[in-house]
Amino acid sequence: MNYNTAVLRSKYISLLKKRNFNTPQVLKAALYLTWGASFLLALTTIFGAQTQRQAIQSVGKDSIPSIITAQRIKDTLVGMDAYVANELLLKPTDYVGAPQEYEKLRRSAIDGYEERRKAFSERLIIAAKNITYGEAETKPIETLQLSLGDYIAKVQSARDFHQRGDANGALLAYREASQIIDNILMPAVDKLDNVNFQQLDIIYSQQGFKTTGSLFLILISGTFLLGVLAVTQVFLYLKMRRILNPMLLGATAITLIFIGYSTQSLISASNNLKVAKEDAFNSLYALRQARALAYGANADESRYLLDKENALKHEQAFFDKVNQIMKLPVGKTWNDVKATLIAGKKVEGITGLFAIGINNITFPGERGAVIGTILTFGDYLDIDKQIRHLEQSGKHLEAVKLTVGKDKGQSNFAFDEFKKAHLKAQEINSKVLDKYIDQGFQNIQGFEAITVIATLSISTLTLFGLRLRLREYQI
């Protein structure tokens, strides 16, 4: 018996003497106290489990999927824009000796646009089905739904002008379409992303505090229950010369096991949520943002060639996005970065979304996938440099062919290779995210039923244990 228990016992016995309680009254009081303490333990434990489950649900099933969906909607929008720009860059007069090549490239641009448009509709439906935060989500979704029709109409107008050979009319219509993308659709997606990201941060930051509070309450109520059981055992020993009451001993053992199980389960669920959010999601989100920016940069590359009057603006937009994806240290080139990464060394001084990914390597295979993503993006930028050099040298047609081409060594081929490498890195984090969210739910699966069974067992064992002693005082 430790010092605290001894003090508790002394005060308890002193109180009994002062109030002149008889033994049956004390035993009944102990029984009622045990029931009350068991009920309190059950309440605090169930509250803790439900709070943890709600946090996992809000983070893993509500906010994160909506954030990822918003980023994927971005992909589709800027992807549509890039394909339209590529289609408008293609002219049959530039392929007089190769009409099949022209038709192949034109069909590829049209099919790519349609694939992106359908993907947009599918992802918007997914977003609409996962509305959690009311008008803050419904408003941007409505904007996306309504304004896409305006964008498609402008695109069709640009296509009609292009087919008639009216390059100026096609360009003006395309500019109007791109303004809808830039000024209405993309800001709406950002709002959808931001509302979920803000809620994610709030819920996740509160989750840690609530878990700590729940554990504290469980330990306090559990310790109180153990104290009641221990003092009752001591009382039986002092008053009735019973060394151990097997029923009370069983209740005490169940209490200890249950407290350990409850705290371990809540801690495990909290840790699994932490891995899902801080390791998997943070990397996944950086990768998703980088992908959307890369799609946007690819569109800016085509705009640079299509809209010569605004070429400098589109060029600056391209490099702004590239720097957000990954900005190199002063004096370093992409070839320097490639060589350093291939050698397995750390690149000092890099910033941007890829830097977040490379500095948050946690899972097997992740490093190789992230490095592959960076290297293929560097290959894409090398070709972009060639495109700009050709354009600035007056070789516009060569620049266009290098931009819209899908063969090895051409821009679209390099961009597809980047997307494949990026997808590998993304899938690693996505699978881990799903795994740890599911494990978090499993940690507290059936928790309420286990709590009820445990507390009923404690109460029942105490009842039978003390009833035998109470019978000794019956006349």
Residue 206 belongs to a domain:
yes
Q: Does residue 475 register a pLDDT over 60?
A: no
> What is the Cα–Cα distance from 447 to 50, expressed in whole angstroms?
9
Per-residue pLDDT averaged across 365-375, rounded?
A: 88
Per-residue pLDDT averaged across 150-158, rounded?
A: 96
Contact 433, 284 (CB under 8 A): yes
How is 346-400 classified by DSSP, letter by letter? --TT-BSHHHHHHHT--STTHHHHHHHHHHHHHHHHHHHHHHHHHHHTT-HHHHH
pLDDT tens column, 318-342: 999 999 999 888 888 888 887 887 7
| Number of other CB atoms surrounding residue 404 within 10 Å | 22
Greater confidence (68 vs 9) lies with 68
Q: Does residue 26 register a pLDDT over 90?
A: no
- pLDDT in the model for residue 435: 94
- pLDDT in the model for residue 171: 95
How many Å is the maximal CA-CA distance in the chain?
Answer: 116
> What is the Cα–Cα distance from 89 to 441, expressed in whole angstroms?
52
Residue 269 belongs to a domain:
yes
Domain coverage including residue 428: 22-471
CA distances from 257 to 123, 265, 279, 463 (A): 47, 12, 32, 19
- pLDDT in the model for residue 18: 56
- pLDDT in the model for residue 237: 76
Q: Does residue 244 register a pLDDT over 80?
A: no
Helices and strands: H and E segment counts in the chain:
16, 0
Residue 17 belongs to a domain:
no
Residue 14 belongs to a domain:
no
Per-residue pLDDT averaged across 139-157, rounded?
A: 95
Structural domains in the chain (count): 1
Residue 127 belongs to a domain:
yes
pLDDT tens column, 407-417: 999 999 999 99
3 state SS of 249: helix
* CA-closest candidate to residue 258, choices 467, 12, 3, 450: 450
Residue 3 belongs to a domain:
no
- Range among 8-17, 327-336, 401-410 rated most confident: 401-410
Residue 9 belongs to a domain:
no
How is 43-66 classified by DSSP, letter by letter? HHHHHHHHHHHHHHIIIIIIIHHH
Residue with tokens 């039986």: 236
Residue 6 belongs to a domain:
no
What's the whole-model pTM score?
0.82
